Structure 1
């Protein structure tokens, strides 16, 4: 991640980054894949980001992006940015599973899905109340024997 690099100091930072990546390769035997790597800049002109990324053979990165399934750089106070989370709940608690399971089986599945996914997604972001209401609606519908929202 580039951060307000200017002039001579910026060139030193780039040289150090190259050295770090080389040392990582020598120690671990793992090489950084330029096709999968991106350079992001904070407070840096886009043209500088593009030139530095090209010097490494990386792609210039843009905010917002997804890292380990979580959005980075997006305003997570907006309900629309939680669509992937809602879709994931719907997929996990699908209509066919509700029809094949007893009430106890549905309760266990709801508990496991709604017990683990929030720990992951909510570890970084505070969830809007509207999203919590949608997730609770999915849970209630599934427990009643239906599928996810919109089915």
Structure 2
């Protein structure tokens, strides 16, 4: 065990020296797959870092979870709900609603969808509530050719208006 700890310390120190970057051990987490918790705890203690668990978030994107389950996408659905609820009291015209939804809500899922593809079986991210029946946001696959200005990626389309 001591040899493993020394090897990891040596690798991390070499990383710091070669790239001239400093590792912030206070923010670092040690995670292991298929190793004993006691060994991981000792290793984290000796490396002066925290002991981490899967799934975790990196730059706001969940890592280690099953992206085919709706539970992983629930924070995105909650964000949609919060945005729509805050606009409820505003006196907007129908065109104002469409503009607001297209400009703001279309950018929300882009970051997460850059890492994970939404399963095609879903067809929609349901769960926005019965009061939003008029304005249902559906994530669909829209493949636009690059010559038409698209990237051939997922897009957000507002339907049911």
Residue 122 of structure 1 is matched in structure 2 by 113
Instruction: Give 1:132's match in structure 2, choosing from 109, 125, 130.
Output: 125
Residue 7 of structure 2 is matched in structure 1 by 12
Residue 158 of structure 2 is matched in structure 1 by none
Residue 76 of structure 2 is matched in structure 1 by 85
Which structure features the higher share of helix residues?
1
- Is residue 38 from structure 1 mapped to residue 23 from structure 2 by the alignment? no
Q: Residues 140, 120 of structure 1: CA spacing in aligned structure 2 closer, same or farther, 3 A cutoff?
A: farther
User: Which fold has the larger relative contact order, with Cα–Cα distance below 8 Å and residues 6 or more apart in sequence?
Assistant: 1
Q: Residues 102, 94 of structure 1: CA spacing in aligned structure 2 closer, same or farther, 3 A cutoff?
A: same
**8 A contact 1:70–1:121 mirrored in 2:** yes
Structure 1 runs of 4+ off > 6 angstroms? none
Q: Residues 48, 21 of structure 1: CA spacing in aligned structure 2 closer, same or farther, 3 A cutoff?
A: farther
**8 A contact 1:106–1:142 mirrored in 2:** no
Q: Residues 22, 46 of structure 1: CA spacing in aligned structure 2 closer, same or farther, 3 A cutoff?
A: farther
TM-score (norm 2): 0.65
Residue 94 of structure 1 is matched in structure 2 by 85
Which structure features the higher share of strand residues?
2
- Is residue 141 from structure 1 mapped to residue 135 from structure 2 by the alignment? yes
The size of the alignment, in residue pairs, is 134
Structure 1 CA distance for aligned equivalents of residues 38 and 124 of structure 2 = 38
Q: Secondary structure at the match of 1:85?
A: helix
Instruction: Give 2:101's match in structure 1, choosing from 94, 106, 110.
Output: 110
- Is residue 72 from structure 1 mapped to residue 67 from structure 2 by the alignment? no
**8 A contact 2:9–2:47 mirrored in 1:** no
**8 A contact 1:79–1:131 mirrored in 2:** no
Residue 148 of structure 2 is matched in structure 1 by none
Long gaps (5+) in structure 2: 138-161
Long gaps (5+) in structure 1: 1-5, 144-151
